[in-house]
Structure 1
Amino acid sequence: MVFVAMQQFARPVIRQYFNADSCIASTRVGINVLRHFGIGAKPLALSVLVINAEGSRLMRDEGVEAFQRAIRASQPEDEGGPWSIGVGAQRSPLDIALDAWQGHLIVEIPQFRTFMDLSIDQANRPLKNIDLTPHYFTLEPGDPWLEGTEPVMEMFAADGTTLVLDRRAPDPEGFRKSTNWTGNNGLSAALAECTDEIIAEVEKFFIEAGRVYGQP
């Protein structure tokens, strides 16, 4: 139940304190909330390639080359058409200038073989029909992506959007220098207040649902 509540309530609160590209802060807050409810969690660095439903169909029906040709012929401001976007896959010129970390950060909950992405909505592109919301997923024991023996995994959203998760982050610990993780430069209060607000929302959810605190 904690996972369900966080999937529903965490992101609107986080967005009151941090911008859309806030995977580090979102993961930090998510871990803090889970620990409050007695659930151990840790950060996991990766990258995500998001392919919209039209692009996924084209790739499936006509192959990768047809998809790549369609992407080259399209522009970000065009409406519709096959499209993809990488999250944490590469750094923009601004990222390089600011020495920003390259990667995407999510929450790993080892006890339940569960992963939670509280900031995937940063990949949303309405013109390209990409509309993702925070989510969590659970893997079976021995899953090769879970065990790390297979670094890439495909997931499929209900609308046909494809998410390709790649654990091969070029700097898997670099996020720890970010102020969104450390709380330096005055951000510790924002992280704490954000955490407390989400905890209150989750507890309210439990009360309304008649559940016992701490039930995942």
Structure 2
Amino acid sequence: MRKYTSRESSMIKNLKKEKPHICYYCRKFITNEEELTVDHKTPLSRGGLTVPDNLVIACKDCNLEKDSMTEDEYYVYLEVKKELGNYNFIIITKINNLLKEQEKILDMYRDLHEEKRLLNYKKMKVLKMITTEHFNAARGYMLARELQNYSLKLIRLDEELIHETSMEELAKYNIMQLNTQKREIFKKLIEAYKNKDEKFKILLKKAM
């Protein structure tokens, strides 16, 4: 990029001396000298000139972010960035809620597995008694009822485990769907601005 002429440099210095220093783009007051910059609304690389109508005070962050975009392009970029920020917040909130739900399901899943392990242990103890002990009819009836009780509880637990597995899979699926929706929104935005130059499209992607 060519160097500024003495007239252009003087113009930029004089603009920096004007008070108050308010960023043309974000309307933030600039109190730190290091944050104070002068921006070309239409960049030099895009055919802009160093003339008063094309020069504005800008904070360092906006100037760096605007890069080689024109003023109009930058406002579109900021609008898209805001929309994506809002959309991201909604998506992330939904995903976080689903992750919390998934964690509860996993906790319940672990509890059910532990309960199943204990029931199997008790069932095996009863089976061992039946095969190794000598007992009368009353004792045999009691052990048979106990065995039946544990078996029924295990069947119920297996049904609950199947249900919890389905709920976990559903939570995973919903998270995947939300991420897919997010990617589709980004694709549509890129498609909507496909006629913009490559540099602008790269900056647009940065907003995402």
Shorter-chain TM-score bucket reads under 0.3
Structure with a larger share of its residues in helix: 2
TM-score (norm 2): 0.19
TM-score (norm 1): 0.18
Structure with a larger share of its residues in strand: 1
Q: Which protein, 1 or 2, shows the higher relative CO under an 8 Å CA cutoff with sep ≥ 6?
A: 1
